[in-house]
Chain A
């Protein structure tokens, strides 16, 4: 490998090398790519059919019963919003800190953000018995003598998620413009027209760069507090209620840390196969993966601390209802879900203390998958477990998902992966501009990589 680096000069990539590698991904996809898209589309169709049946038959086709009226759909909603957050962390917050390793991975993370929010936004609507009335949540003049209650966390959520989707999409679009212009200049046929429209006539003039840099910086500055506010608001959907297991002041930071934890794991889950399939190993190096792994490790420790802290607060309060809810959470009929969650979120990520594990793509991929599972379980345990064991023991009833809910959840993953795959095939999934801007860091990473491999 080291010899190959010397002969090809790949350890010192130039602007042209970066362009060539990223543009190569934009070439028409083969049969395997379209087979993958059809595979995803199949599950989306199944989920769509089941949802149509749910709309027709009513929510009775789900496993929702009193007292557990929020379960998998709201778990999915919180999970996907959480996934979105690390994208903004990597693209906006690390941009403000001028973190070197973000350049190769931020576009994929930001794309993940937009598609994850789009996926999350489906679930409150899917969860409605009469989804055609979803717009009642929006504040607009009407003749029903009804207005949204701005004191309700659900209305805050509407504003937070809408704002987050808009700002994330604008941030992605702005960052894409110079790269799409680059792709436009090398494209032909319908692609040239497509990229020309999307680049809005970007030509990299001094005037454009001057205004772009300011707008991008300020958008990043807005996105940074936004990302913290959005998941805090999501956590308040729970924490503002009196439900035991939800009513806690720790929820906002706990949810934000969890969101970053799960999101970075999802970035790795997407990046590792993508760099292999698309041949991007020279641009997304073990150095980038190593740094992402360190973020997972840090947030895993924060999450573990939050679990301990949450339990301590319950013990210290000596509130009978809280104590019983947590007892059920740890040792009740669904206690195994809690301990699986602890294993996935607190124990398995500790492997990342080993530098060897952090640069092994196989290990990283497996750990990232475990974290994804663990974080989905965390939301399920909090949402379903707390409702199932509420303040009225005579009402206690544990929830079991129906086939409809399971396949709609699977369909949401298929929808997300399909959107991401199509984007990665048709748009520059790595920011050529930012990689070139920090080309010396990429060279250092590659040299370090080859030195280690040798």
Chain B
């Protein structure tokens, strides 16, 4: 049985979310394109929060530990007595630790975003069109030819302005 791709375009976020929910009830997982971040769309598609936060946590811990290692390691390696102060001045070093925690956590967050989003991408994804980065919400569903009529009707009932059919 041949597969087809249905690309539906919505002018309205609410209708798009409603249609996603109906597709999910029908055990269909659509690909969604959106010009704005939409919590409603994310909530309709995902049950867990993004893994990016684990990247940030790991990066932050790594940065903080690196800060301690750099400052304490350097101090004990060089062992400079500056005016009778302790060789390792933890309160002063906490500033370096804090800055490195932020630096590594931030870089890890951006790296995590690219990794988990499978970016960079060099080619347009199937079903993408320029309106989806500007003023339209897009739903892309891949299905069997036999099932396509039912899903197309569901998309239109959901309020899609336009549904196009592409061969996979």
Contact = CB atoms under 8 A, between A and B. Distances in A.
**A and B: bona fide binding partners:** yes
Interface of A: 14-16, 19, 139, 145, 147-151, 155-156, 159-160, 162-163, 166-167, 170, 173-174, 178, 181-182, 184-186, 200-215, 218-219, 222-223, 225-226, 229, 233, 433, 436-437
Interface string B98-122: 1110110111011011101111111
B82 to A, nearest CB: 7
A308 to B, nearest CB: 29
Contacts of A185: 130, 133-134
25 contacts: A15-B134, A16-B134, A16-B135, A151-B85, A156-B99, A160-B99, A167-B106, A173-B110, A181-B133, A182-B134, A185-B134, A200-B119, A200-B121, A203-B121, A203-B132, A206-B45, A208-B117, A209-B34, A209-B38, A211-B51, A212-B113, A214-B52, A215-B112, A433-B35, A433-B37
A14 B46 contact: no
B34 A204 contact: yes
Contact of B78 (A147, A151, A155): A147
A208 B77 CA distance: 45
B148 interface: no
Given A19-B135, A167-B102, 9 more contacts: A159-B99, A181-B133, A206-B31, A210-B45, A214-B113, A218-B52, A233-B95, A436-B36, A437-B36
Contacts of B119: 200-202, 208
A414 B27 CA distance: 59
Given A163-B102, A185-B133, A150 B35 contact: no
Contacts of B103: 162-163, 166-167
B164 interface: no
A210 B32 CA distance: 11
B124 interface: yes
Contacts of A147: 74, 77-78, 80
A204 B35 contact: yes
A150 B92 contact: yes
A136 to B, nearest CB: 14
B109 A213 contact: no
A113 B75 CA distance: 34
B23 interface: no
Nearest to B92: A151
A206 B112 contact: no
Contacts of A219: 106, 109-110
B100 A201 contact: no
B35 A215 contact: no
Interface string B66-86: 000011001101101010010
B61 interface: no
Contacts of B31: 205-206
Contacts of B39: 213
B133 A203 contact: yes
A424 to B, nearest CB: 21
Main secondary structure of the interface of A (DSSP, over half): helix
A215 B38 CA distance: 15
Nearest to A149: B82
Interface of B: 31-39, 41-42, 45-46, 49-53, 56, 70-71, 74-75, 77-78, 80, 82, 85, 89, 92-93, 95-96, 98-100, 102-103, 105-107, 109-110, 112-114, 116-125, 128, 130, 132-135
Contacts of A233: 95
Chain B interface, >50% SS class: helix
A437 B36 CA distance: 6
Contacts of A208: 117, 119
Contacts of A139: 70, 74
Contacts of A201: 119-123
Nearest to A177: B119
B102 A149 contact: no
Nearest to B101: A222
A443 B89 CA distance: 55
A204 B133 contact: yes
A145 B121 CA distance: 47
A432 to B, nearest CB: 8
Q: A-B pairs with the 3 shortest C-beta distances? A: A201-B121, A185-B130, A15-B135
Contacts of B78: 145, 147
Contacts of A207: 116-118
Contacts of A155: 96
Contacts of B38: 209
A417 B22 CA distance: 52
Given A16-B134, A211-B50, A200 B114 contact: yes
A203 B125 contact: yes
Given A218-B52, A437-B36, A151 B82 contact: yes
Interface centre among B52, B99, B100, B132 (most CB of A within 10 A): B99
A218 B98 contact: no
A159 B99 CA distance: 6
A182 B35 contact: yes
A174 B110 contact: yes
Contact of B33 (A15, A182, A203): A203
Given A16-B135, A147-B74, A437-B37, A206 B96 contact: no
A209 B137 CA distance: 13
A162 B104 CA distance: 12
B58 to A, nearest CB: 12
A204 B132 contact: yes
B100 A182 contact: no
Contact of B42 (A173, A210, A229): A210
A163 B95 CA distance: 12
